[in-house]
Structure 1
Amino acid sequence: MSGPNTDYDPVEVTPLKAEQVETMRDAALAAIAAAADLDALKQVRLDHAGDRSPLALANREIGALPPQARKEAGQRVGQARGAVNKALAERTAVLEVEHEERMLVEETVDVTLPTERRRRGSRHPITLQSEHIADLFVAMGWEVAEGPLVEAEWLNFDALNLGPDHPARTMQDTFWTEPPEHHVVLRTHTSPVQARTMLTRTPPIYVVCPGRVFRTDEYDATHSPMFHQVEGLVVDEGITMAHLKGTLDHFATQLFGEGITTRFRPSYFPFTEPSAEVDLRCFVCRGASPAVASCRTCKGEGWIEWGGCGVVNPRVLTACGIDTDRYTGFAFGMGIDRTLMFRHGASDLRDFFEGDVRFSSAFGTEI
């Protein structure tokens, strides 16, 4: 019985010869050393250590050798691949350090250099305040009503019980357009919107009217010939001063915080009877001693004058075609600019109209 042929001299596959493996290893090491950056090294890794690299293909040829030759060929190829992987790891570490150092130099920002970036704009605080007020009343089920800035004299005065001899009709308070016989003015309040609403709708009516108004006032820290008002009107069956008080207390609380209420002081307005001035409890000292004595906001009064209000005068309802035997109503009005100054401590009304974007940007997109 014959034994194994121990004298068999296997023929090596060409890629597995020692000189061939050394050549492939040396070529890989040279390419790794020549890689100038991480991107170049990535390509070298694919070319010399990837699945289609010469050493990887040579490793696949080991299985074609006779058993006696596989061990030596496997060791030779494995050592070559190990040397390549080690060189790749070392070169990667070096290039990563160089990359970070280069980033620190090339991407450094000199924050002292002048910038040409444009400032981000923001919505005007008066616009934001007007929309916020409108949202409060919409949440109560009211509607927002609007009207023209240039208004008929009858709607601005006569319909609101402002007779021909009323002082507000004079040039001292009102901007009249040319020619005078057209009887057109720049509206002096947003009340004409209420008149238009009553003329075109059937009660019940619940509307809030924010907008610009115009009067011949001096332009100073607390006055402007153009400013903003918000007025509210309710016409329904059984409306009383109690409904008005509750509405304004809710309005004050939503704008200035919990616990802020209102008080009424008897007054006179042609379009309401009875009429009252509305005072707002100071939202800084809240009218409490001893803080009220030194409060700069309310000047020690505990209350801040806010606006006017009252039960709609029956003459106004009649002028607008509403049955006064069935319906009653209330109305109120206050300055949006003044309210905004209260809320944010602004001391000069002119800041709202000078157009300085730095002023508006301080308010951002919320108020």
Structure 2
Amino acid sequence: MRLRDLWTETWEALDANRGRSLLTVLGIVIGISAVIAMTALIGGVRQGLMGELGLDRARVISMGVYNGSQVRTEDIAKIEEGLPEYEYITGSAYGSGKVASDAKSADGQVLGISSHYFDVTGQKLVEGRTFTSGENDSASTVAILDKTSAHNLFGDKDALGQKVRIKGIEYRVVGVLESGQQTDPKSVTAYVPLKACVQRVTGYDSVDSLAGMAREGEDIDSLVTKTKDFLATYYHMSDEDVDNGLYVSSMKSMIDSFNSVMFTFQLLMTSVASISLVVGGIGIMNMMLTNVTERIREIGLRKALGARRSDITRQFLLESVCLTLAGGAIGIVLGYVGAFALGGVATSLLASGDSGMSLTVTPVIEPVAVLGATGICVLIGVVFGYYPARRAAKLDPVESLHYQ
């Protein structure tokens, strides 16, 4: 049988049962659209979060010493010298106190930060500048606020250049951050030079945490181990102190864990959606068996005119595959439409929440997902269409011609 004749007969057979064919492919449409929507949406969430973190976040290594040893401000430069694998290491100290403008006052958190702190944390300035090295070294009375804190203190006025008082000392606002770290939207967070914080806010010369940006090309896991060994030696820590009082962790491990969780979630959602594909496949088999029963005389006539078993098998298999491919094509389109709709809803919910988190979820359309969906449709068509096709091919032509 020529391929052109095969396609023509397949189309005529499906068109003759148009309503039944559309209902049969519904399970395939639902299954494929669910798989595509979940794949695109989860890919968009992953890409959005990774974009918020920044590509360099995998190179960030956090450190902390909690065994009673004090990490002094002068230690930062010595640790940086001892670990040349880092581009820079920054420290921060945490304090609290009244932060006030001329009009408002609030209990706030005061963070003393050294150079490159915002480069490591990934926070971005929307106005102004960060501290200069001279301001850091001289403990200058300058401050940076996040947008929420600036609004809480100055309302709709521009905070840049304004004065704030922290524990009675006046600081000039030189920068405004894109977002803050506070969980209470009514609180205030102010960033000041590290030396200014330890001299005027906390009152003791120690750093609460350290973080470093590894140089490009460095093996992060190896650097974590080297950093831990260096800090243990630098602070004369015993094995017990290292286990209980030394913290060294990379963002890479957190990002790897996040990717693993997202992959597991995607696999789970895909597995659930695949149940619809199995149900759709059973529907395809049921329809093809019905078609075989209704067309027994036609099959007998074809065999009497010289059609081979392989010709009958190919015809019914092609009908089955065409049904699944049609359902797959519709499912792919609906899946991406649904993914963008869900992405818009997720973006709106995140923007309207009180978490301060703003994330744009744009579904990721991956060609691999389309090819995979197409392959799944063909596989379902072949697997669930093979039995009806073989049953049709094995019919006896004489008995088929006498079938009523």
TM-score w.r.t. the length of structure 2 is: 0.18
Tell me: higher relative CO, structure 1 or 2? Use CA pairs within 8 A at least 6 residues apart.
2
Structure showing greater Rg = 1
TM-score w.r.t. the length of structure 1 is: 0.19
